Amino acid sequence: MKITISHNISEVARALAAAPKQVQYATAVALTKTAAKVREAIPAAMDKTFDRPTAFTRNGTYLIAARRDDLTAQVVFKDIQSKYLRLQAEGGAYQPKAGGIRLPGNIVLNAFGNIPRGLINRLKAAAQNGHLSAAIVKRLGVAKDRRKGAAPIQLFYGVPQGRGWENAPVAIWRRIPGASGGPGKLVPVIVFSDKPARYSRRLDMAAIAMPIVAANFQREFDAALRTSLATAR
């Protein structure tokens, strides 16, 4: 995923036919500096669009400079970031992979609103062996000072069986005992959805780039051309 900034300099080139190299150089410099300003604006735009984007996401672009023989400057998203930001920038549907789309349920997320790295595997292990570390208990939102004699925290991974659960998803579930021996309930902790996730465009890259291009390119070009002509040999 990339933003491409180019410019038609044919009229300028004809007006300065005696100095085509200087025009090309000035154009390449102006395109590159303008593209750099676009890149600098992307993190702030993400802050307005997304809920607490991580530094990894905010800094997920790099700049390809324009050259005299290729008058195009590009702001490109890195491969990993592009995989999940493309849908935010273009919209569309994300098809779940074999493990499903991981959706948080009754779980405490990290400071960026994400499922902490490695937590799902720890929860699956806890569902299998019954051993819940203090860190997992904290993520489940269970108070440290649980009342004495409270039922142990139980997790299981899979699909609940029985009436009313025919369409239940694969998930990591927590069993909540009922009061005074009454029927309990199941609460999803992490859901593994097999349904496509649909996205509308939220990060409008053209809306970010075009005002910056309009405000900066001509000024950068004029300055670079003056310098180039003054130093021409």
| C-beta separation of 153 from 184 below 8 A | no
What is the reported pTM? 0.77
Sign of CA pseudo-dihedral 165, 167, 173, 179: negative
Helix (H, G, I), strand (E, B) or coil at 190: strand
Cα(71)–Cα(65) distance, integer angstroms: 9
> Cα 208 from chain centroid?
16
Cα(86)–Cα(69) distance, integer angstroms: 29
Cα(48)–Cα(208) distance, integer angstroms: 12
Q: 58: Cβ–Cβ under 8 A, 6 or more apart, which residues?
A: 42, 43, 46, 47
CB hemisphere CA count around 176 (13 angstroms): 10
CB hemisphere CA count around 77 (13 angstroms): 21
Output the tens digit of pLDDT for each of the chain's 233 residues: 566 666 666 655 555 555 678 888 999 999 999 999 999 999 999 999 999 999 999 999 999 999 988 989 999 999 999 999 999 999 999 888 888 899 999 999 998 889 998 999 999 999 999 888 888 888 988 765 556 656 778 899 999 988 888 889 999 999 887 766 666 789 999 999 999 999 999 999 999 999 999 999 999 999 999 998 888 76
